[in-house]
């Protein structure tokens, strides 16, 4: 589709339309979380359990969503999360997403498991682009990915630590989802045979350790990388403090959209304690569960400097390609600006001192944000 459907009235509407554009088994894989989706649901209710308190007699005429992150001036705090295998929902995949990021002055975080190469994505994305890095079983392959990303202008590296193993999604299994032969991790196809010791796939502990870096490897990467290194997948304040001490440039509070272990806390629920631990000046970002500009406001109010958008990005891509992703970002920014205005906040710093009220909503009340 090369136009915006008239049914789209807010960013979350892309989620409602996506099943009409994505094959059922693929939608089950994308929309589902791990296990019984408990964490997936908690990610949403953690936002709906909070309400924004309006303020009056506040002059917000000069309001702005601009922010400085890692020394980079961003027009808004909304980043596109590293979502893998985007050709599952659109033939242009990450290239279309890159176009959308560039057209909206948005920072795109390209995935190691993208279905287009990181070089092709960089060619079409704007100047604000980061690369998400999964450590490979062969550390030389990890170094090669880092060097490739730096060579084509990615301005930060995001190391994901929380997805070494994943609990299967009952929703995807029930839908009989399997990866089609023509969808692959384009960045990894040229890798040679791994020099890591082969392991029995049933040996969970060994498989876990083969897919995560050692402390020494992570420290090496942070020290040698010519661009800032952030760590994604942190939910405990002590881990955040250890990563800060190790030299990480920032932390992304995330439970991988509820796709690793079912039953872990919502990302938003853990954000305040992590912010309290690392202090006000350490960059903290958040993903998992965001569906509206109001949600973005709440995340910033609880301690985030910026947020990353995952599933909504894919839903918008499936509906209208690059145009859909750009439109979704535009709507999120407008929804954030509207929430800021009503709450009397003219800057992102103002949001951090905004009043929030905890409410109890029934499941029927938590439907749409517009």
Backbone φ and ψ of 156, nearest 5°: -160, 155
Decide: 326 and 6 in contact? Cβ < 8 Å: no
Q: How far, in Å, CA of 173 to CA of 354, rounded? A: 43
In the numeric block, the tokens 């909503």 are attached to 361
In the numeric block, the tokens 């905004």 are attached to 354
Q: In angstroms, how far is the first alpha carbon of the chain from the final one?
A: 23
Which member of 42, 76, 124, 256 is catalytic? Answer: 256
Q: How far, in Å, CA of 273 to CA of 265, rounded? A: 13
**Exposure class string for 216-244: b at 16+ Cβ within 10 A, else e:** eebeebbeebebbbbbbbbbebebbbebb
Q: How far, in Å, CA of 98 to CA of 81, rounded? A: 12
What six digits make up the tokens of 150? 């730096």
* 3-class DSSP assignment, residue 129: strand
Q: How far, in Å, CA of 255 to CA of 274, rounded? A: 14
236 given a catalytic annotation: no
Decide: 163 and 207 in contact? Cβ < 8 Å: no
Q: Catalytic positions, please?
A: 256
């Amino acid at each position: 589709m090369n136009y915006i459907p008239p049914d789209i009235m807010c960013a979350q509407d892309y989620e409602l339309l996506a099943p009409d554009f994505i094959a059922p088994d693929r939608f089950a894989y994308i929309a589902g979380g791990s296990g019984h989706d408990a964490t997936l649901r908690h990610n949403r209710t953690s936002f709906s359990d909070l309400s924004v308190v309006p303020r009056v007699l506040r002059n917000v005429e000069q309001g702005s969503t601009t922010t400085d992150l890692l020394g980079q001036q961003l027009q808004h705090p909304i980043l596109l999360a590293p979502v893998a295998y985007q050709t599952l929902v659109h033939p242009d995949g990450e290239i279309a997403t890159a176009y959308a990021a560039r057209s909206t002055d948005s920072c795109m975080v390209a995935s190691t498991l993208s279905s287009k190469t990181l070089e092709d994505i960089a060619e079409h994305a704007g100047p604000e682009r980061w690369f998400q890095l999964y450590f490979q079983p062969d550390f030389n392959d990890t170094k090669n990915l880092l060097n490739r990303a730096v060579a084509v202008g990615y301005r930060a590296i995001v190391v994901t630590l929380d997805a070494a193993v994943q609990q299967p999604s009952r929703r995807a299994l029930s839908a009989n989802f399997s990866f089609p032969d023509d969808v692959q991790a384009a960045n990894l196809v040229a890798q040679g045979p791994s020099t890591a010791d082969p392991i029995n796939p049933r040996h969970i502990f060994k498989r876990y350790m083969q897919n995560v870096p050692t402390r020494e490897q992570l420290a090496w990467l942070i020290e040698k990388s010519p661009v800032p290194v952030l760590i994604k997948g942190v939910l405990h304040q002590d881990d955040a403090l250890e990563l800060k001490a190790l030299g990480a440039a920032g932390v992304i509070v995330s439970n991988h959209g509820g796709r690793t272990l079912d039953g872990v806390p919502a990302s938003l629920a853990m954000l305040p304690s992590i912010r309290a631990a690392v202090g006000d000046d350490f960059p903290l970002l958040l993903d998992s569960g965001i569906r509206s500009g109001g949600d973005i406001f709440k995340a910033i109010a609880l301690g985030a400097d910026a947020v990353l958008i995952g599933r909504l990005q894919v839903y918008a891509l499936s509906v209208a390609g690059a145009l859909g992703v750009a439109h979704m970002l535009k709507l999120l920014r407008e929804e954030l600006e509207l929430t800021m205005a009503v709450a009397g906040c003219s800057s992102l710093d103002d949001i951090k001192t905004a009043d929030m009220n905890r409410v109890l909503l029934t499941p029927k009340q938590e439907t749409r944000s517009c």
